[in-house]
Copies of this chain bind each other. A is one copy, B any other.
Amino acid sequence: MFRRAYSSALLEDAVDQLASLPGVGRRTALRLALHLLDEPRENVEQFAGSILRLRRDVRHCPVCGMISDDGACPLCDDARRDRTTICVVESLRDVLSIENTGQYHGLYHILGGIISPIDGIGPDDLSIRSLCDRLEGGGVSEVIMALSTSMEGETTAYYLYKQIARFPLKITAIARGVGFGDDLEYTDELTLGRSIAGRQPFQP
């Protein structure tokens, strides 16, 4: 179908930028751009400003990779956290998800990705050496692997295991099984099979 260009280069440019966001198509991008065009100018300036500040001013903890506003890591520098346990995750997103459970009180180590030859991401692109440095320092008694169950996640976990097995500590992985609220009927065979193999004593 013949589609005319928008009459405005400014609009087209904003649509292009919004459409570069994950999960946002050109139709949605146009809707968002027209919404922003209708908003009071101060609101749009605040909107753009908050995104700029996020990217410009956020700092990353050199130890665990967590973000912070002022350079002090909100996790590493928190005296109430259990410093004997490190949970290894792929990304900041996973830290936020685990923190939301309120079930974990130790420290984290953000790898910054997982090993994925297809995407050209090898072990050297991840912060694995810095994890070894942390363990070298001593004081850590358990490393919890909280990586995804994909092929890449399993590969990364295995590689990590080989790197850290030499340290005198417990290496664990988060439990896999049927999720709460999931129907057995709709649970995939691999998950269901593993949840049976990994069955636990019933706690009434």
Contacts and interface: CB of A to CB of B under 8 A. Distances in A.
A45 to B, nearest CB: 7
Given A37-B55, A45-B55, 7 more contacts: A7-B66, A10-B67, A21-B35, A34-B93, A36-B54, A41-B56, A48-B49
A9 to B, nearest CB: 6
Assembly stoichiometry (copies): 2
Contacts of A33: 51, 54
A114 B3 CA distance: 27
B52 A37 contact: no
A54 B69 contact: no
A80 interface: no
A92 B20 contact: no
Interface stretch (A95-103, A120-128, A137-145): A95-103
Bin chain A's interface residue count: 35 or more
Contacts of A43: 20
Contact of A58 (B16, B17, B37): B37
Interface string A7-46: 1111101101110111100001011111111010101111
Chain A interface, DSSP helix/strand/loop, else mixed: helix
A18 B1 CA distance: 33
Contacts of A31: 22-23, 93
A108 to B, nearest CB: 11
A48 B52 contact: yes
A58 B96 contact: no
Nearest to A14: B54
A172 interface: no
Contacts of A66: 7
A6 interface: yes
Given A46-B17, A48-B52, A50-B17, A37 B7 contact: no
A157 interface: no
A151 to B, nearest CB: 22
A4 interface: yes
